[in-house]
């Protein structure tokens, strides 16, 4: 990314496949990350893989909703030790970075709308060794038509077990001369508008300050007639981090969010984006193009109507949340592995 001597060693990325083809890949023994609807994923053989339920994809032919296809990403490995799978609950999720290899990366899959999902969203920045070792991943989801009668699952492929209340992580050692680099592509920028702050870390907010004056966020959105598809955006030393709006409840004067806001962070609403595909392709850096592993947010898929459209350079599941160290929203996350 930064040095001419550093070259990409794993530029493969993933593919959207039929279940038979996915099963053949699993039987090769290669380490894989898999996304698919639960029913088709249950037909896959046990092996060296972890996965998450999701029926939305950006495949080689464009954006696609499928309950039949399987997205498979071969993972860079070949380190000194073998990769290993570990499942986490809220009792030990704070050790995920400490458990990771000294040199390598960790791929994490969290089932959406669960305790582990919420725990990670709120607390990940405080975990031991967070930011010192690469952690990326995504939040498993379900088809939106299944809301209320299905639940997302993270999958331990080595045992064929579907975890509806646990996170599944794959810790992958890399050779000493290779490094995993995680990046994000966020097409949203802060608009030149009001500065909004919240009093505590929360997925549900009411009271806030706007330019230092007490206000209510639900009323603020209504008063300003804000397009709720636009996220709140915070500037983390130059990286734009989104928090997306899930729903506004007029009765309780509160707003539900897809990720928590944090106190001491200044947020601004995002500047509207006219054409997602164009903006995305402009924003995608060379190192993110055809990365070893990538995933994008289902909100980008839905709000930007990506079904049937291609985002050149990205191929992966469209997820209910993304992890690049901490939980993100409406963001593409990618990982490249480079030689040093």
Interface residues with other proteins (CB under 8 A) are 2-4, 89, 91-92, 94-95, 125-126, 128, 130-132, 134, 176, 179, 181-184, 236-239, 262, 264-265, 324-326, 340
Q: How far is CA 266 from CA 18, 19, 79, 129, in A?
A: 45, 45, 40, 25
Q: Given the complex with other proteins, which of 126 and 192 has the nearer CB atom? A: 126
Q: Given the complex with other proteins, which of 91 and 213 has the nearer CB atom? A: 91
Helix (H) or strand (E) segment spanning residue 184 = strand 178-185
Pair type for strands 316-319 and 56-59: antiparallel
Show the CA angle centred on residue 53, arms to residues 76 and 312, nearest 5°: 55
211's CB contacts (< 8 A; 6+ apart) are 194, 195
Q: Given the complex with other proteins, which of 33 and 241 has the nearer CB atom? A: 241
How far apart are the C-alpha atoms of 328 and 42, rounded to whole Å?
Answer: 28
Q: Given the complex with other proteins, which of 22 and 107 has the nearer CB atom? A: 107
Instruction: Give the helix, strand, coil percentages of the chain, each rounded to 5.
Output: 15, 40, 45
**SS3 state of residue 131:** coil
How far apart are the C-alpha atoms of 268 and 271, rounded to whole Å?
Answer: 9
How far apart are the C-alpha atoms of 30 and 68, rounded to whole Å?
Answer: 22
Smallest separation (angstroms) from other proteins to the CB of 278:
22
Q: Given the complex with other proteins, which of 144 and 340 has the nearer CB atom? A: 340
Q: Given the complex with other proteins, which of 2 and 250 has the nearer CB atom? A: 2
Smallest separation (angstroms) from other proteins to the CB of 304:
23
Smallest separation (angstroms) from other proteins to the CB of 91:
5
Q: Given the complex with other proteins, which of 105 and 162 has the nearer CB atom? A: 105
How far apart are the C-alpha atoms of 36 and 154, rounded to whole Å?
Answer: 11
Smallest separation (angstroms) from other proteins to the CB of 40:
30
Smallest separation (angstroms) from other proteins to the CB of 256:
24
Smallest separation (angstroms) from other proteins to the CB of 288:
11
Smallest separation (angstroms) from other proteins to the CB of 269:
19
How far apart are the C-alpha atoms of 328 and 139, rounded to whole Å?
Answer: 10
Distance of CA 200 to the CA centre of its chain: 23
Q: Given the complex with other proteins, which of 4 and 251 has the nearer CB atom? A: 4
Sign of CA dihedral 296, 298, 300, 305: positive
Smallest separation (angstroms) from other proteins to the CB of 174:
11
Q: Given the complex with other proteins, which of 146 and 165 has the nearer CB atom? A: 165
Smallest separation (angstroms) from other proteins to the CB of 79:
15
As to burial, measured by CB atoms within 10 angstroms (0-12 exposed, 13-18 middle, 19+ buried), residue 174 is buried
Helix and strand totals (H; E) in the chain: 7, 27
């Amino acid at each position: 990314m930064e040095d001419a001597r550093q070259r990409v060693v794993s530029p493969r990325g993933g593919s959207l496949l039929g279940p038979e083809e996915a099963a053949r890949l699993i039987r090769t023994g290669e380490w894989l990350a898999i996304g698919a609807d639960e029913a088709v994923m249950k037909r896959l053989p046990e092996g060296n893989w972890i996965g998450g339920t999701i029926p939305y994809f950006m495949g080689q032919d464009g954006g696609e909703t499928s309950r039949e296809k399987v997205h498979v990403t071969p993972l860079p490995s070949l380190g000194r030790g073998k990769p290993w799978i570990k499942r986490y609950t809220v009792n030990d999720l704070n050790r995920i970075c400490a458990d990771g290899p000294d040199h390598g990366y960790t791929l994490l899959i969290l089932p959406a709308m669960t305790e582990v999902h919420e725990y990670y969203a709120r607390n990940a920045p405080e975990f031991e060794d967070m930011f010192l070792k690469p952690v990326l991943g995504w939040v498993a989801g379900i088809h939106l038509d299944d809301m209320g009668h299905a639940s997302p699952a993270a999958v331990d492929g080595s045992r064929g077990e579907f975890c509806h209340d646990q996170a599944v992580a794959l810790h992958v050692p890399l050779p000493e001369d290779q490094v995993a680099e995680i990046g994000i592509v966020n097409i949203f920028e802060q608009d030149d508008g009001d500065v909004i702050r919240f009093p505590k870390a929360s997925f549900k907010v009411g009271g806030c300050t706007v330019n230092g004056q007490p206000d209510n966020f639900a009323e603020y959105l209504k008063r300003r007639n804000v397009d709720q598809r636009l996220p709140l955006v915070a500037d983390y030393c130059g990286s734009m981090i989104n928090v997306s709006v899930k729903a506004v409840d007029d009765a309780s004067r509160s707003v539900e969010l897809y990720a928590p806001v944090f106190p001491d962070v200044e947020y601004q609403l995002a500047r509207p984006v006219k054409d997602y595909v164009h903006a995305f392709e402009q924003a995608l850096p060379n190192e993110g193009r055809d990365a070893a592993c990538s995933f994008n947010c289902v909100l980008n898929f839905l709000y930007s109507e990506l079904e049937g459209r291609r985002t050149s350079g990205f191929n992966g599941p469209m997820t209910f949340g993304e992890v690049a160290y901490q939980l993100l929203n409406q963001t593409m996350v990618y990982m490249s592995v480079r030689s040093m």
